[in-house]
Amino acid sequence: MVMKTTLTRGAYTGALALVLAMFAVACDDADTAAPGDMSDGMVGGLDSGALDGGGADSGAGGDGGGAADEGMQGGDGAMDLGGDLDVGGPLDGGDEPDASADGAVDAMPDAGPVAPTVVVISPRPGATGVALNRTVAITFSEVMDPATIDGLSFRLTLDDVAVPAQVTTVGAHALLEPTEALLANTQYAATITTDAESLAGLPLAVDRAWTFTTGDAVADGPAPVNLGTAGDFVILAKSGIDTVPNSVLTGDIGVSPIDATAMTGFSLSLDASGEFSTSTQLVGQAFAADYAVPTPATLTTAVSDMETAFTDAAGRPLPDFTELGNGDISALTLVPGLYKWGTGVLISTDVTLDGGPNDVWIFQIAGGITQAAGARVLLAGGAVPQNIFWQAFGAVALDSTAHFEGVILSQTEIVLGTGATANGRLLSQTAVTLDANQVTEPSE
């Protein structure tokens, strides 16, 4: 029979060394053995060609060189370094394990379902000035069973009295919508309990409770995306930030897990503390993963929060507008809401976002964003860039002298052409490229 298992690269190397050692012993024995008996000196009856040198699993589109196989939403960066080692012959010292029809033995059963956890909550814990008509929303790590999420397991309370509300569950998202406006300037408590279960029948790992305080105004559109500590940066990227001088960036910038050498064109000057750098192009500071503590941990958290925010924005259910303009929003006026496209988005002429200072826009874009030279995103009615979220799976390209408003959450690169400007944040899971640009963080 054949035993088939998956090894790490280190184990693979050790196994290969063992095989070669056995081969050497067999060759020594062969000096005295009859021709054709060399295989008798090998432990376990090693078959010719039994060592199957499977390499790293690079995933779709990989180069086969042991690249990490990352998922659509950013992935965990885990790397499958193992190949398949086929060792011929029965196992010594015991019965042969059960084999499949082709003689292979499964190395390990599937891990099976895991208990769901809370990934994102809105309004965020401790939030203030929350709109009086805001929906309370939770995103879970697993698809949930709607029958287990109701007014008992997911509730909003005021002084321990439940607030009348309608609860809806869509996939991994649960929404609690009060049936009447909340009271102004009042603290509310929200709770999701372990009575909530995934479709696999596993309960939430632990209860989750938090509070928020209302303001005195209503708002249109979905709940804003919680950026966490990623919101401390005007530009945050995982693989680099490059500028052609002179750019003017108002706010902090950061790169992680790449080091400071990936921030180019800034002529950075490292502070004596070693925790950050400065530049004449920055009204703020520059941070990198190889700077002194606590910077590495701070950046790790910020990047994780950026990825969580991307997942939150991409996963919001029940869009108000779908495939508007077939992806071409040029010359349109957009009201607050949740917009979704299965394509990229094109802005070839000015587009206007018209709404109040508490209103929210979320744009879910399966492709990228292309903004033509000189085209502008304009705000009207008091709309503010910190409440505008552009989530894109593809590349974002703002051409020369274009003007943009809002927070960009891109799974790939963000490129600004010569002289382009933006009010908001550029949060990229790869790189940001600048060319004499002005980028200003919102004044929140």
Q: Report pLDDT digits (tens) over 320-335.
A: 999 999 999 999 999 9
> Same domain for 401 and 306?
yes
**CA torsion, points 415, 432, 236, 324, in degrees to nearest 10?**
30
Q: What pLDDT is stored for residue 443 in this prediction?
A: 86
C-beta atoms surrounding 338 within 10 Å:
21
Average pLDDT (265-287) is: 98
Q: Cα angle at 442 between 437 and 444, to 5 degrees?
A: 165
The yes-or-no verdict on residue 427 having pLDDT over 90 is yes
Average pLDDT (377-406) is: 98
> Same domain for 385 and 264?
yes
The enclosing H or E element of 298 equals helix 295-315
Which CATH number do you get for residue 156? Answer: 2.60.40.1220
Classify each residue of 414-426 as buried b or exposed e, where b means 16 or more C-beta atoms within 10 Å of its C-beta: bbbbebbbbbbbb
DSSP 40: G
Q: What pLDDT is stored for residue 162 in this prediction?
A: 97
205 lies in some domain: yes
> Same domain for 273 and 399?
yes
105 lies in some domain: no
> Same domain for 361 and 392?
yes
Say if residues 339 and 221 touch (Cβ distance below 8 Å).
no
> Same domain for 195 and 331?
no
> Same domain for 361 and 422?
yes
Q: What are phi and psi of 225, to 5 degrees?
A: -80, 130
| Cα separations in angstroms, 347 against 196, 319, 320, 325, 399 | 42, 20, 20, 11, 10
Q: What pLDDT is stored for residue 302 in this prediction?
A: 97
101 lies in some domain: no
pLDDT tier at 144 (50, 70, 90 boundaries)?
very high
Q: Give the chain's end-to-end CA distance (angstroms, integer).
A: 67
239 lies in some domain: yes
pLDDT in tens, 195-223: 999 999 999 999 999 999 999 999 999 99
> Same domain for 57 and 28?
yes
436 lies in some domain: yes
Average pLDDT (189-200) is: 97
pLDDT tier at 113 (50, 70, 90 boundaries)?
confident
Q: What does the radius of gyration of the chain's CA atoms come to, in whole angstroms?
A: 28
Short-list 351, 308, 303, 310, CA closest to 327: 351
> Same domain for 266 and 404?
yes
Range of the domain at 31: 2-88
Q: What pLDDT is stored for residue 111 in this prediction?
A: 66
> Same domain for 414 and 285?
yes
Q: What pLDDT is stored for residue 430 in this prediction?
A: 98
> Same domain for 204 and 238?
no
pLDDT tier at 152 (50, 70, 90 boundaries)?
very high
**Percent of the chain having pLDDT more than 90?**
73
> Same domain for 236 and 326?
yes
271 lies in some domain: yes
pLDDT in tens, 26-63: 444 434 333 333 333 333 333 333 333 333 333 333 34
pLDDT tier at 108 (50, 70, 90 boundaries)?
low
